[in-house]
């Protein structure tokens, strides 16, 4: 991919479907935003250092990326609102909308999303970033308690706490403070399924690959409507091989726009 191509795409802020062209035709399938999203399947337990780096299966130029066929055709036709604006949270620029949410951002939280596909996408993006250890326990603890559901949440919480303890010790900051940055860019999204009760969303993210380059992946998330808002769900039967996948030249998604 040519240098600056992502900036061009993001600056366009256009709606519609974008076909992603990757340098070399493949990228490593690393977990970019949610460093803890796969831990419910991969963590071997406390004291192993597993919380420091959690990755999904890697992809090579000659390999079939698990789940990539699910991105070869457009998802549902979902448009972001015209009032979308972007704000930074620990290095991640997140989309906000007066009309679609979040309506409540007190204390670093994000609640109050519209009961429609755009609201589901925004909820998925905000909640998954806010359970990263970098945001600190004042944000990830109540977010996990009130906005994340599923049988694996206790294990997920334990791993996030261990990861935060490691990062805090390395940075030498007081307990409770945010620590470090999440080096990721939200490029776009796909909504693969939607009902009034649940939605399957893929967030297309760009981040570093640990070798000075970049990698682009699709993070597969589930949200459920609970009471009067969307919550993030970690189903017990979710397939870990397609939770976070490398996107290839056949991948289609919708840019967020509004930057």
Largest CA distance in the chain: 47
Tell me the sheet residues that pair with 215: 207
The label of the residue with tokens 């070798």 reads 211
Residue 2: pLDDT over 50? no
At residue 92, φ and ψ (nearest 5 deg) are -105, 125
Q: Between these two residues, 138 and 235, which has the higher pLDDT value? A: 138
Integer Cα distance of 135 and 181 in angstroms? 8
> Residue 11 has what pLDDT?
36
Q: Contact 179/136 with Cβ under 8 angstroms? A: yes
> Residue 145 has what pLDDT?
97
What three-state secondary structure class fits 245?
A: strand
Q: Which residues contact 250 (CB under 8 A, 6 or more apart)?
A: 19, 68, 71, 72
> Residue 69 has what pLDDT?
54
Integer Cα distance of 65 and 67 in angstroms? 6
Q: Which residues contact 84 (CB under 8 A, 6 or more apart)?
A: 95, 96, 97, 256, 257, 258
> Residue 62 has what pLDDT?
29
Integer Cα distance of 153 and 144 in angstroms? 8
> Residue 246 has what pLDDT?
73
49 DSSP 8-state letter: S
> Residue 17 has what pLDDT?
45
pLDDT category at 136 given cuts 50, 70, 90 is very high
């Amino acid at each position: 991919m040519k240098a600056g191509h992502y900036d061009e795409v993001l600056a366009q802020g256009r709606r519609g479907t974008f076909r992603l062209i990757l340098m070399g035709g493949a990228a490593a399938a690393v977990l970019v935003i949610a460093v803890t999203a796969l831990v419910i399947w991969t963590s071997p337990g406390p004291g192993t250092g597993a919380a420091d780096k959690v990755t999904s299966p890697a992809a090579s130029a000659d390999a079939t990326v698990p789940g990539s066929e699910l991105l070869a055709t457009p998802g549902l036709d979902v448009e972001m609102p015209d009032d979308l604006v972007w704000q930074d949270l620990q290095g991640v620029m997140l989309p906000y909308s007066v009309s679609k949410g979040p309506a409540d951002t007190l204390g670093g939280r994000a609640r109050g999303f519209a009961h429609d596909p755009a609201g589901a996408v925004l909820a998925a993006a905000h909640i998954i970033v806010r359970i990263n250890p970098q945001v600190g326990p004042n944000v990830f603890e109540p977010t996990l308690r009130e906005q994340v559901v599923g049988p694996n949440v206790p294990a997920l919480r334990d791993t996030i706490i261990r990861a935060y303890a490691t990062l805090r010790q390395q940075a030498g900051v007081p307990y409770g403070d945010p620590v470090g940055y999440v080096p990721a860019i939200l490029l776009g999204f796909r909504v693969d399924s939607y009902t009034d009760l649940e939605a399957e969303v893929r967030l297309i993210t760009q981040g570093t690959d640990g070798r000075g380059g970049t990698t682009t992946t699709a993070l597969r998330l589930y949200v459920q409507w609970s009471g009067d808002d969307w919550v993030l769900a970690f189903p017990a039967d979710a397939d870990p091989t397609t939770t976070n996948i490398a996107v290839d030249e056949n991948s289609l998604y919708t840019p967020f726009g509004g930057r």
